[in-house]
Amino acid sequence: MKIVFSEKCLEYNWAGHIERPERVRKALEFLRSQQYEFLEPEPASREDLLSVHSREYVDLIKNAEAGSHLDGDTPAPENIYEYALLSAGAALLAAHENVFSFMRPPGHHAGRNGRALGVSTLGFCYFNNIAIAVKKLGLPALILDIDGHHGNGTQEIFQGAPKVTFISLHRHPTYPGTGLVSQGNCLNFPLSYSAGDSVYLKTLEKAFSQVEMANIEIVAISAGFDAHKGDLASLGLTSEGYREIGKRVGALEKPVFGVLEGGYIGEYVGRDVHELISGIEEKQ
C-alpha cells in the first residue's frame, strides 16, 4: 500500500501543543526505512469541503486570524486553512487510490458546523478528512474509526446516511465523551483504558458481525494510533495489535483506504502504521 504525504504538513506548529510536527516526522523516518512509495497530494476544493461542512464553518477556518484560537485546544496557526485543505486533499487521493494518507491536521472531531454532538472543542481538527473522502466516493462504505477518541464529527455528519455505516472503538471516559451507545448506522463500542489487544480484537469482531458486509463496497479507516499503550487515549494496544486489526480488515475482502487521525508518540506511530498496512495486505 502506498502512502500519501507532503512535507508541507510539517511546516505548521504551535508551541507546546501535542499535535505537532514531531509526531509525524519521527514516524516518517521509520516508514521511509520500509521502502514505501509516496504520493504527493493536491489541496481539496472548496466544493469538496462544502459536501460535508457548512459554508459558514468553512469561512470561519478560511478567515481565522493567524495566531488566534478557535477554541481552548484548537489553535489557528498561520495558513491553517491551506494546510487543512491539503490534508483533506490527501484523504481524497487515498480514497481514489486505496492507499494511506499520512497527513496532519486530523479531522474526525469536526462536524458539519465544526463542534459536533454538543462537544465544546474541535479536538485539533479543522475539516473532516475522511468524511470528505467518503462523500466524494459516493459508495456504500464502512468507516472504521480506531482512534482512541470517539469520532463525534464523523458520526454527526453520517448519522442516518443510508450508504454509510460508522464503527468506532474508543476509550471511555475521555474526550469527547460521546459515543456511549450505538445509534442506527453508527455503532459505538466504548472501552476501558486497560482493554488491551485481546479485548479490543474481540470487540472489533463483534462490531463487524453487526454489519451486512455484502452491502459494503469500500472500507475507510480513521486511523488514529493514540490507543497505543501509553499514548493520549491509551487502550493498551501494541504494534502487534495493530497488525491484527489490519488482518481483520483485510479479511473483509473489500478495497481499503486509511486516513491518519491521532497518535502522538512518533516512534510508535510509524511502526503502528506499518503493522496496520502489513496486516491488511497479508489478508487481502
Catalytic residues: 109
Torsion of CA 211, 171, 22, 239, to 10 degrees: -60
Q: Give me the amino acid identity at 239.
A: S
State the Cα–Cα distance between residues 113 and 15, nearest whole angstrom: 27
